[in-house]
Amino acid sequence: MLQNLSNEVLYEMVRKIADGGMGLVYEALQKGAGNFSKSVAIKLIREEYSAIPEFQKNFIGEARLVADLIHTNIVQTYHLGEVNNQYFMVMEYVDGVNLEQFLDKQRELNRPIPIEVAVFIISRVARGLAYAHQKCDAKGRLLGIVHRDIGPKNIMLTWEGDVKLTDFGIAKALDLMYNEEGKVIAGKDEYLSPEQASYAVTDGRADLFGLGIVLTELLLSRNIFRATDRLDSRRNILTMEIPQFAGLRVEIDEKLEAIIQRLLTRDRDRRFQTAYEVLTELEFYLYSDGYGPTNEKLGVYLRELMGYAAPGTRSPLSVPINPGQTG
């Protein structure tokens, strides 16, 4: 039980929902007056790291960075607290699964993800990134946020079909985050941009390459850059020939192929330049014929896939994502 004595807010831990290298995330109930109860997520630094100033600094920096990122496609942070010298972050609880769990289930069922489902998910992540990349501080200065850790574990899907980007723990931004670009590599090897893999200074375009990797993983059910050895994954990011994806899945048409190839362009000056540009291209691809996926349709697909029925609701699980295009 965590208690904030200054305002009498209680957090009752329910279960552990994520176990990372340096942090833990729990589902918790926020308790208040008049039997008030609200589900939240509590993120903690592991006890063995909580006394190390650098970890505390980064954790506080993450909380400060995301405090004002209020957007439907980004997991919201409500509060930063401290109990017995251990910092904790109170965050929006996302009732659903992460994209890695979604992919694992598709692989288990040997079931390809419909093209438009994959594109829709990535378009919503691009929407969240477009907001974060353009975020300014109270003085109107561009924060220059770069997430640097775009990957399936950090993309959440709610049972209702909302898509939310989370975990800005290694993000960089103006005046807020400790950063050693040029000395260390931040991010997971098989989801790096070429800039990250080569120790270069990054900007928002690095996140767009990561979007391209995740999109192709959704379409092919595998990460084309992943190797057994971490160095080989990085080497693939930097030098592997980018395939023609239409040759790997016949439903990928030339319009989607062009979007993918531009996302995975190693020369960032020839890549998409903004997440908003990516969002525009993906939405035009999805909706130019006047019909396309929605949050509600993604929610139906997700619940059917995972065998989930929300308590007290009836889901039209027999309704396909798009009767005219199943991908």
What CATH code is carried by the domain that includes residue 238?
A: 1.10.510.10
233, 227 contact by CB (below 8 A) = yes
> Based on the domain organization, do 15 and 73 belong to the same domain?
yes
Q: Where are the alpha helices (DSSP H) in the chain?
A: 47-50, 53-66, 99-108, 115-133, 194-197, 205-220, 230-239, 254-263, 275-287, 295-306
Is 222 within the bounds of a domain? yes
Is 292 within the bounds of a domain? no
Concerning whether 149 is annotated as a catalytic residue, the answer is yes
> Based on the domain organization, do 120 and 206 belong to the same domain?
yes
> Based on the domain organization, do 149 and 76 belong to the same domain?
no
In this predicted structure, the answer to whether residue 297 has a pLDDT above a threshold of 70 is yes
Single pTM value for the model? 0.89
List pLDDT tens digits, range 94-132: 999 999 999 999 999 999 999 999 999 999 999 999 999
> Based on the domain organization, do 198 and 239 belong to the same domain?
yes
> Based on the domain organization, do 6 and 140 belong to the same domain?
no
> Based on the domain organization, do 274 and 167 belong to the same domain?
yes
List the single range of 44-58, 108-122, 150-164, 306-320 with lowest mean pLDDT.
306-320
221, 113 contact by CB (below 8 A) = yes
Report the alpha-carbon distance of residue 87 to residue 83 in Å, rounded: 7
Is 301 within the bounds of a domain? no
> Based on the domain organization, do 70 and 121 belong to the same domain?
no
pLDDT at 321: 40
> Based on the domain organization, do 76 and 115 belong to the same domain?
no
Q: Which of 287, 302, 320 is the last residue of a domain?
A: 287
**87: which 2 tokens?**
């910092």
Name the residue with higher pLDDT: 85 or 237: 237
Mean confidence (pLDDT) of the chain? 88
> Based on the domain organization, do 43 and 127 belong to the same domain?
no
List the single range of 54-58, 128-132, 294-298 with lowest mean pLDDT.
54-58
> Based on the domain organization, do 29 and 133 belong to the same domain?
no
298, 121 contact by CB (below 8 A) = yes
List pLDDT tens digits, range 178-223: 556 666 777 899 999 999 999 998 999 999 999 999 999 999 999 9
Is 161 within the bounds of a domain? yes
Sheet holding 155-158, edge to edge: 96-98, 155-158, 163-165
> Based on the domain organization, do 29 and 124 belong to the same domain?
no
> Based on the domain organization, do 55 and 100 belong to the same domain?
no
- The one catalytic residue in 68, 149, 203, 269 is 149
Is 294 within the bounds of a domain? no
In this predicted structure, the answer to whether residue 320 has a pLDDT above a threshold of 50 is no
Report the alpha-carbon distance of residue 64 to residue 49 in Å, rounded: 19
In this predicted structure, the answer to whether residue 1 has a pLDDT above a threshold of 70 is no
Pairing of strands 155-158, 163-165: antiparallel
Domain count of the chain? 2
Q: Range of 234's domain?
A: 96-287
Question: What is the domain-level CATH number for residue 80?
Answer: 3.30.200.20
Q: Which of 92, 116, 148 is the last residue of a domain?
A: 92
Q: Give the residue-averaged pLDDT of 138-142.
A: 89
Q: Give the residue-averaged pLDDT of 72-77.
A: 96
Is 320 within the bounds of a domain? no
CA dihedral 177, 231, 152, 221 (to 10 degrees): 160
Is 311 within the bounds of a domain? no
**Three-state DSSP class for residue 176:** coil
73, 131 contact by CB (below 8 A) = yes
According to DSSP, residue 9 is labeled E
Is 321 within the bounds of a domain? no
Q: Which of 92, 120, 149 is the last residue of a domain?
A: 92
